[in-house]
Amino acid sequence: MSTLSARIPLLGAVCADSHRGKLGVTTRFLILLVVSLLLVGSPTSALASEASIHPITLQDILSLREITEQHISPDGRTVAFAVKDADLAANDYNSSLYAVPTAGDAPPKLLLRAKSFSNLRWTPRGDAITYLSGAGKVSRVWKILREGGEPATLFTHPESINQFEWSPDGDSLVLVSVEPVQEAETAAAAEKGVVYDDHLAFPFWDFVSRSWVKKPTSVWLYRVHDRGIQKLWEQEHSIYSFESFSISRLAWAPDGQKIAVVFNTSAAASKDAAVAFNSGIGLISLKGDGLVPLPSTSAWQGEPSWSPDSRSIAFLSEVETQGKPRDGFRGTVLVDRLGDDRPPLEVTPNVEVPYGTQIWWSKDAQRLVLAMESRERSALYEVPAGGGPIVQISRGDDHLSGFSLSADQAMASCIVQGPMKAPEIGVLGLQVGTVKTLTSVNAAFDRIRLGEVSRITWKNKYGWETNGFLIKPIGFREGSRYPFLVILYGFRGQFITQAEWIASYPAQVFAANGFAVLLMNQPKEYGWRYGNFEQFAFDRDYNALASIEAAVDAVAQMGIADPKRSGIMGWSYGSELTNLTLTHNKVFAAASASSGGANNPGEYWLSGVPFQHYIEGTMGGSPYGEYDKRFDDLSTVRQAHRVSAPLLIEAAAQEMLHSLELYTALRRLDKPVELIVYPDEGHIYSQPKHRLASMERNLDWFSYWLLGRTDPDPGKREQYGRWAAVKAKLAKGE
């Protein structure tokens, strides 16, 4: 058994040693998965009680059953929910559809298994559950009765459907679709040569993914009673490479005559230069008048919700902060009174409302119900529709998300979890607010030891406060100092096994291997006006860098962190901050950065016009003229000579060009760097084998550089040979 295996029970070598009774990784994972399947609705199962408690492993992280979606029935009596399970052997996922009574008097009932489900919706009459599922390039609307049985397609449509919503009377559906691109079309275009279109965001992605043929997004009306279908609107191909973002939300008016949609707009329309991908709200009438945008608020718009009389729309947007606490922009809820010449009414002038907040009108139109999820709060609230104090409805400290409401708004269902509490389905009465947990799909985690998690706050040298979630090493002892890891960014208090949404950083397994870990948020950003470089540089970079330095000091002052053995890692924007940190201080002895850049000139020519507008808004101009020197201090490529800590870079194939500029600069300077590319991946790795490989590589990386540990697994001999050669050069000062 390897040294690493001894430190992490169940990790072991990949191959089984049947003569000694040892289980291989795949076998162990499948056993844990089967146990978790058996535990749905059985929190006191004998299987769970007989299992030995063990520190969390990488395989345990993959065994977490993800609740991808849930929806309460109109009568409030049943919650339908989908669960996704990783299949490591097949390098894929399987999904299951369940229904559980809100009374809590029966376990969940398995209705269906398939590769995937999305867009779960009860029919308005509550007799069936509808959803999207499909194979290959075509996704269709399916229906299964409330009691179960064989599912059936609701209707046949030639295009692939990516979302739908039922009309209030249940007689129609509005749906969004895109015609699948055929291989023959792609090949025919390739034979003639493809015109490079830099009006798309990240246009080079199209040539990595062979998606240079574009099809428009269409909105359709399907009538159930006569099976008729009518095209309501067609949008030219998106300014983004990812076509499904053309229409990202549908909302029926209660009178059934109009549909509000969220659609792509140009970021150039926003005063806030921090907006890289913009959206607006438009109305589509069943009369076939096309899409009519709401009056512009010079900001992004989202999450439209209709008033009961269909005369007003509440939605998310942003307004200027006007110096409180500084110039910039903040999220808020606005109400547009259709046909009224007055500007939209701001409902939440004293509250920061985060992007993605769900909105419902009360039946009497006097209140708005808000489901807000941010790093500060995650709960259900209500506020007077005309503006006023906001009041929390749900009780307790759990993280609540993904809400749905019954037709009478008496009941709400949600996903309930916490930093040390695995996700389950919960339900609450809006009059009482107390959350009741209905499932135990992740009961296996009751027998898995985790590092203790606490929420901490601290201030940087500029006086700005931020927060994070500190994980103590498993077996933590007061008075001992531990190697310390900072993981960036965007954490909200969800269940921590990996670093919440980041699938490559095994936060709790780091804790099982003797690390103290901080999942860190940067200080609140308030945006900046177009071209205001000084405000951008402080808000996006220098303020965050100061908080990263202060985080190490804060946890060291707690007597936990060993500042001489500190590492840092980050994904996306977190990668930008990680790279900037390496060029601006010597706090960290090792680093890992993935799927992101840091104000490098190459990003400009890679990104296409929409994102170039964002870069020009932040830096004041392009890197090709008078603004070129502004890139000097904030570009990691131009500051690569300052890097001394070993840096692991990981990238999906379609994003590797963003990483090659820094990698090449570091290699030319003979700096310690390694680049790993994962084929056929997205911005966040989804393939189970890639997730496992990336988590294990990051664990090996920081164990090697901060603890001096190696795994004697013969398969890793080449890896450690590369790292040892780098370490030897660093020791010689070369």
The answer to whether the CB of 108 falls within 8 A of the CB of 439 is: yes
Q: How far apart are the first and last CA of the chain?
A: 36
List beta partners, residue 414: 426
Residues 292, 295, 301, 304, Cα dihedral to 10°: -60
To the nearest 10 degrees (0 to 180), the angle between helices 688-702 and 717-732 is 30
Which has the closest alpha carbon to 506: 70, 188, 62?
Answer: 62
Rounded CA-CA distance 253/259 in Å is 6
How high is the pLDDT of residue 248? 87
How high is the pLDDT of residue 326? 84
Rounded CA-CA distance 315/283 in Å is 13
The whole-number mean pLDDT for each consecutive block of 10 residues of the chain, a chain of 734 residues, reads 31 30 38 41 45 90 96 97 96 96 95 92 96 85 94 91 95 93 92 90 85 89 93 80 76 96 86 87 89 84 96 95 87 93 92 93 96 90 95 94 96 97 97 95 96 97 96 96 96 96 97 98 90 89 96 97 96 94 94 86 86 86 82 88 95 89 93 94 94 97 96 93 91 74
Rg of the chain on CA atoms, in Å: 26
What is the biggest distance separating any 2 CA atoms in the chain, rounded to whole angstroms?
80
Which has the closest alpha carbon to 591: 470, 684, 708, 673?
Answer: 673
What's the DSSP call for residue 531?
A: T
Domains, the chain, ranges and CATH? 1-64 (no CATH), 450-596+680-732 (3.40.50)
Q: DSSP secondary structure string, 85-146? A: EEETTTTEEEEEEEEEETTS-S--EEEEEES--EEEEE-TTSSEEEEEEEETTEEEEEEEET
Which residues make Cβ contacts (< 8 Å) with residue 562, sequence separation at least 6? Answer: 481, 482, 483, 484, 556
Please report, as a single letter, which amino acid is at residue 225: H
Question: Do the strands 399-405 and 391-392 form a parallel or antiparallel pair, or are they unpaired?
Answer: unpaired
Rounded CA-CA distance 38/443 in Å is 10
Backbone angles phi, psi at 703, to 5 degrees: -65, -35
Q: DSSP secondary structure string, 303-352? A: EEEE-TTSSEEEEEEEEE-TTSSSSSEEEEEEEEETT--SPPEES-TTS-
List beta partners, residue 130: 121, 143
Cα–Cα separations (whole angstroms), residue 689 to 91, 95, 136: 6, 18, 21
Reading phi first (left if > 0) and then psi (alpha if -120 to 50, else beta), residue 360 is in beta
Burial class (CB in 10 A: 0-12, 13-18, 19+), 266: middle
How high is the pLDDT of residue 731? 83
Number of H helices, E strands in the chain: 16, 38
Q: DSSP secondary structure string, 244-301? A: GGSEEEEEE-TTSSEEEEEEEE-GGG-SBTT-SSEEEEEEEETTS--EEEPPP-SS--
Reading phi first (left if > 0) and then psi (alpha if -120 to 50, else beta), residue 49 is in alpha
- Tell if the pTM clears 0.75, that is, is over it: yes
How high is the pLDDT of residue 717? 94
How high is the pLDDT of residue 676? 96
How high is the pLDDT of residue 629? 81
Backbone angles phi, psi at 705, to 5 degrees: -80, -30
Please report, as a single letter, which amino acid is at residue 198: D
How high is the pLDDT of residue 199? 84
How high is the pLDDT of residue 548? 97
How high is the pLDDT of residue 657? 87
